[in-house]
Structure 1
Amino acid sequence: MGSARHIPPDHPVIEDSPAFQGAAGHPAMVLTTTILASSLSFIDGSIVNVGLPAIGHGLSADGAQLSWVVNGYLLPLSALLLTGGAAGDLFGRRRLLVWGLVLFAIASLICTFAPTFAWLLAGRVLQGTGAAMLMPNSLAILAATFDGARRGKAIGIWAAAGAVGAAGAPLLGGWLIDTVGWRWMFLMNLPIALAAIALAMRYVPAGGGEARPRLDVPGAVLASAALALLTWALTIVSEARMLPVRAAIALLIGICLGIGFILAEHRRGDRAMLPLALFRSRGFVGLTILTFLLYGALGGVLVLIPYVLIGLSRYSALVAGAALLPLPIVISVASPLMGRMAGKLGARLPLSIGPVIVGVGLLLAIRIPSDGNYWTGTFPAMVTIALGMAGAVAPLTTAVFASVQNRHAGVASGFNSAVARTGGLVATALLGGVLAARGIELAAGYGMALMVGAACAAMAGVVAFITIEGKRDL
């Protein structure tokens, strides 16, 4: 996301599993397990942005390489999120959760001791793969353990804990960078992962998977390859500020693979990783475009703002991390209020206005390099962006569910989450040239990137106004 990855845009709806219902004798410990497991993804997604300048200095990485520190994680997470959930249904949710945790822990060790940038990138890709395994299955386990009102309360606690983790991670990461170095950002994942593994093996039932669906392997491979090639090509274009032959070839192959993915999903029908019947809904198509544009804009700014604060305003990593605090705090406080308001007014109005407010916040953030004062430069921009996102997060989730048939609610929610991360993936790929710049060029590139982001956010609001039919969507 970049940063949809910081605040989860939605929570998939999970079918109850007979093997899970009533099987958990320690629901509080199951809740603790899922919070610890999913916090790895929330924390790691937000902490790395603060560390980009230190990583670049430590491994002599240029701007295009630094964008891959973020995208190496987002790429497998975006492409494999739906597959990770389906694999849990097939092989067992606890098993996939534990496998994901083990892989995430190993990947964190690789990142911690990476001697070169290539090793760091390999670790980030493995982290993203592990997150794609543990994220959907942690929530599936949670939803299958609780029922009725208790389920809603448990998911609320889970989401609140994720928001707290996302808020505190940049602060902790900045402190670690300033005191002992950037590698400790990754090493801190180990105790969390080990604790979650131990709790999962002790308290989470081994059920799940009775439906035994077949994995959509062709869909997963084609989606991953297409995203990888398109992201790599966009990174090259951003850095070179032209279309080199290798980038053009990668774009062409990526587009062909994307078409192949659509054809493969069409042949599989409802057994597909992404049933194309979803796109018969005008509302779902509009919400997909809105999500991509809005979370792409947010993901880009959450990479750029700490980078510019450290590189141009000479903030320490700790202070740069603290500068982002208004975003998760305001969203956590205001989202429930906006959710209730959307219940009365419908999703159309908040989803039309919220992204426009985000765009205004991005325009305010253009002043950050020239206004070194946090309270007059960074703070107003972050609060405005946060208010706009708070107006969109809860209505977006509700509108996604309402735009499709109940049997597709889970995959629609999961796909929307993947689209949010893909928006951040594409945005970060396009920032390679900005991250490679210094001084006046960095400030100019930053300003141009934020203007494009503001336009995308405003366009997301227009899409919502055109495609969402108001209260009937709820």
Structure 2
Amino acid sequence: MNNTQSSPRSNIIIAIMLSALTYWLFAQSFINIGPLVGQTYQTSPAVLNLSISLTSFATGIFMVASGDIADKIGQLRMTYMGLIISMFASLLLIISDITALLIIGRILQGLSAAILLPSTVGVLNNQFKGDHLRRAISYLMISTVGGIGLAGVIGGLIATNFGWQTNFIISIVIAFIAILLLKGTPEKVSQHSHRHPFDYKGMSIFAVMIGSFTLLLTQGFEQGWFSTFSFICLSIFIITTLIFIIIERRHEVPFIDFSVLRNRPFIGAFLNNFVLNSGLGVTVVFFIYAQTHLGLSAAQSGLVTLPYAIVAVAMIRLGEKATLRFGGKLMLIIGPLFPVIGITIISMT
């Protein structure tokens, strides 16, 4: 890569890293600053839990659809769209103390992540090849893993010293800088000779199904597990689950292909991700517990996750070398043992 090419290419990498940080660092900092946000909005812990889970819910539901749209209109355009939505979502969180705007803002943050996660990888795939692509992906992984690990620390420090709203003001600035850095990057739209129609009907039913279950889990305790609200949520979940299974079995290219459930490597990878995300879920619970029951500040509770951030970033390179030496299968077997041990130790405190 010559000198005339290196600067624009470096700008692309920096922009993609900043794009990842808008979600993994700043949107995810909400898991630590939630109690402070609750004081501003004067809302219950149940609503805070809902606002936390809705972001991940929106990300998981819309990610596949956004990838399909990106293939049609271009990865770069989708990246711009994701950054703009991220800026708008952050603005909604800080302009008032209306709970409805809090919920909408968190949903939009999840939608932004659903757009950015696949489209940023697509931009790198379009702009880099070979060793340059591997280098670019490694930088993206560092910003992603580092963002996850440092979200609690940085978010807590900023919230304690400058107010929780500052996290999202910085996120808006970073998203704007990323847009400026991407300006002038050529768009490359992939051409497919044959494209299967996306199962938007299945996605919509799945969204209602998971949404009703999320409401039941996050609001059931406050509303009452045997209340009318909980009964309605459970009924919607059961009905939409049955409808979803029937429709997906008949669809040529379903939103979820149930045949993968017979694939043992897929099940193993799924369980690995479940264990890892359970560790992140325990972190959310710890932040709330530490601030509401132990009297720690957001900065103090965030420092507890600092060892996680250091080890996570360090293990990117170490894990790569270990995989090359011992194979990916052994790493997938050993890897989930560490969060299980960690969750067990935390539960004893």
Q: Fold-level match, TM-score > 0.5?
A: yes
Change (3 A) 1:295 1:360: closer
Q: Are 2:332 and 1:351 aligned?
A: yes
Which residue is 1:170 aligned to? 152
Contact 2:126 2:188 in 1 (8 A): no
Q: CA deviation at 1:343?
A: 4.0
Which residue is 2:227 aligned to? 244
Which residue is 1:63 aligned to? 45
Q: Are 2:285 and 1:304 aligned?
A: yes
Change (3 A) 1:200 1:216: farther
Counterpart mapping for 1:32-71 below 5 A: 32-71=14-53
Which residue is 1:227 aligned to? 210
Distance 1:353 1:99 in 2: 39
Distance 2:247 2:20 in 1: 31
Which residue is 1:197 aligned to? 179
Q: Are 2:347 and 1:366 aligned?
A: yes
What is the CA deviation profile of residues 330-370 of structure 1, one whole-angstrom value per residue up to 9, with x for unaligned ones? Answer: 022124323433444444544344333322222221344xx
Contact 2:59 2:113 in 1 (8 A): yes
Q: CA deviation at 1:176?
A: 2.5
Distance 1:254 1:103 in 2: 29
Paired amino acid for 1:242: W
Which residue is 1:336 aligned to? 317
Contact 1:56 1:62 in 2 (8 A): yes
Distance 1:341 1:168 in 2: 24
Q: Are 2:86 and 1:104 aligned?
A: yes
Change (3 A) 1:241 1:325: farther
Distance 2:157 2:271 in 1: 37
Paired amino acid for 2:24: F
Contact 1:61 1:117 in 2 (8 A): yes
Contact 2:32 2:298 in 1 (8 A): yes
Distance 1:267 1:353 in 2: 38
Change (3 A) 1:254 1:201: farther
Q: Are 2:166 and 1:184 aligned?
A: yes
Q: CA deviation at 1:244?
A: 2.6
What is the CA deviation profile of residues 194-247 of structure 1, one whole-angstrom value per residue up to 9, with x for unaligned ones? Answer: 1112222322x2221422843332122122211111100122334456333322
Change (3 A) 1:64 1:363: same
Paired amino acid for 2:187: A
Distance 2:143 2:304 in 1: 20
What is the CA deviation profile of residues 41-84 of structure 1, one whole-angstrom value per residue up to 9, with x for unaligned ones? Answer: 11134311111111122212112111012112111101111111
Counterpart mapping for 1:251-262 below 5 A: 251-262=234-245
Query: Structure 2 regions of 5+ residues with no counterpart?
Result: none
Q: CA deviation at 1:99?
A: 1.1
What is the CA deviation profile of residues 396-449 of structure 1, one whole-angstrom value per residue up to 9, with x for unaligned ones? Answer: xxxxxxxxxxxxxxxxxxxxxxxxxxxxxxxxxxxxxxxxxxxxxxxxxxxxxx
Residue in structure 2 matching 1:318, options 299, 322, 329:
299
Q: Are 2:55 and 1:77 aligned?
A: no
Q: What is the TM-score normalised by the length of structure 1?
A: 0.67
Paired amino acid for 1:230: F
Q: CA deviation at 1:303?
A: 0.4
Contact 1:87 1:215 in 2 (8 A): no
Distance 1:359 1:98 in 2: 38
What is the CA deviation profile of residues 102-129 of structure 1, one whole-angstrom value per residue up to 9, with x for unaligned ones? Answer: 1111111001113222211111111111
Misfit runs of 4+, over 6 Å: none
Q: Secondary structure at the match of 2:184?
A: helix
Contact 1:24 1:30 in 2 (8 A): no
Residue in structure 1 matching 2:187, options 200, 206, 209:
206
Q: Secondary structure at the match of 2:335?
A: helix
Aligned residue pairs, count: 343
